[in-house]
């Protein structure tokens, strides 16, 4: 597994690297102290699995950092998963991060070493991580997923197409990237586009009772249900075979 830690504070960065190695001794860890350096590392190592991204860097601050790097990866067909690693936390910030495409939001400095290690372990395993108690504030509740829902499984209220979209959403892919994977349905000749994917996300969120922050709320709902993607992590968008056509 390849992980890129992006943080300008050297002591904190080394601490994160040490924790990653403690969790998975075989992990290869790259380091960057700025957004520019992060892009250089990803250019040199395009198959990086996970980026742990501090939002406040010398050359970029706030959510603009996540937006910039996510767009940069999208333009290059890189499907690297983004996890925010920051000392700043509000439910609104978590919602913004999930909406941009992050699959985790780890609050450093405000949790125990055990909780920090648990958060890193979960995200390195391909799972979502959001701060405790935030999911209900994003409109996600296990009580809204219907009586047929089982932990770790998609609720029956979602269509197979919506589940396919969620499979890629859980890997942190953008709407544009997801659209490239999804095949046309039945006899339709035109492939899906980003707006089609957005519509599926909104409908899936609505089915789970999420009325605002649809994308963030959907990801939070899947986190509550402990749902994980049914497909392997896509490495580069252009090289992965599309899913079977739905009839």
For residues 188 and 167, membership in a common domain is answered with yes
Cβ pair 210, 139 in contact under 8 A: yes
- From 99, 132, 165, the end of a domain falls on 132
Q: What is the pLDDT of residue 188?
A: 59
- From 95, 112, 132, the end of a domain falls on 132
For residues 180 and 82, membership in a common domain is answered with no
- Token pair, residue 34, equals 């700025």
**Distance from C-alpha of 129 to C-alpha of 103, rounded to nearest angstrom:** 7
Provide the domain count of the chain. 2
Look at residues 223, 215, 20 and name the one whose alpha carbon lies nearest to residue 135.
223
For residues 125 and 42, membership in a common domain is answered with yes
**Distance from C-alpha of 174 to C-alpha of 90, rounded to nearest angstrom:** 23
Give the β-pairing of 104-107 and 2-6: unpaired
For residues 48 and 149, membership in a common domain is answered with no
Cβ pair 98, 105 in contact under 8 A: yes
Cβ pair 180, 246 in contact under 8 A: no
For residues 53 and 159, membership in a common domain is answered with no
Give the β-pairing of 81-86 and 50-53: parallel
For residues 118 and 184, membership in a common domain is answered with no
Q: What is the pLDDT of residue 48?
A: 94
Residues making up the chain, counted from first to last: 247
What pairs with residue 31 in β-bridges?
Answer: 5
Residue 246 lies in a domain: no
Mean pLDDT by 10 residues, the chain (247 residues): 94 92 93 97 94 96 96 91 90 92 87 84 88 75 52 88 93 90 69 90 92 88 89 65 44
- From 74, 98, 132, the end of a domain falls on 132
pTM across the whole model:
0.84
For residues 123 and 7, membership in a common domain is answered with yes
**CA dihedral sign of residues 5, 8, 9, 10:** positive
For residues 17 and 122, membership in a common domain is answered with yes
Domain that holds residue 20: 2-132
Residue 164 lies in a domain: yes
Residue 245 lies in a domain: no
For residues 22 and 123, membership in a common domain is answered with yes
DSSP 43-84: HH-TT--EEEE-S-BTTB-THHHHHHHHHHHHHTTB--EEEE
For residues 201 and 114, membership in a common domain is answered with no
Q: What is the pLDDT of residue 192?
A: 83
């Amino acid at each position: 597994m390849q992980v890129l830690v992006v943080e300008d504070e050297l002591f904190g960065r080394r601490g994160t690297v040490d924790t990653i190695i403690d969790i998975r001794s075989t992990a290869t860890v790259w380091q960057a102290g700025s957004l520019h350096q992060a892009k250089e590392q990803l250019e040199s190592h395009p198959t990086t699995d996970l980026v742990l991204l501090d939002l406040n860097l010398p050359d970029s601050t706030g959510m603009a950092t996540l937006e910039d790097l996510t767009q940069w990866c999208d333009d290059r067909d890189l499907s690297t998963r983004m996890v925010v690693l920051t000392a700043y936390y509000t439910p609104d910030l978590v919602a913004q991060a999930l909406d941009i495409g992050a699959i985790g939001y780890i609050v450093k400095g405000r949790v125990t070493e055990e909780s920090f290690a648990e958060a890193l372990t979960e995200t390195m395993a391909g799972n979502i991580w959001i701060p405790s108690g935030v999911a209900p504030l994003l409109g996600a509740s296990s009580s809204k997923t219907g009586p047929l829902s089982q932990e770790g499984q998609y609720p029956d209220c979602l269509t197979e197409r919506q589940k396919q979209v969620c499979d890629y959403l859980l890997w942190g892919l953008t709407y544009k990237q997801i659209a490239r994977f999804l095949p046309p349905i039945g006899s339709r000749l035109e492939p899906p586009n980003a707006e089609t994917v957005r519509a599926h996300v909104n409908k899936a969120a609505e089915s789970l009772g999420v009325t605002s922050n649809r994308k963030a709320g959907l990801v939070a709902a899947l986190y509550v249900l402990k749902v994980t993607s049914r497909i392997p992590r896509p490495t580069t968008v252009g090289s992965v075979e599309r899913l079977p056509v739905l009839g």
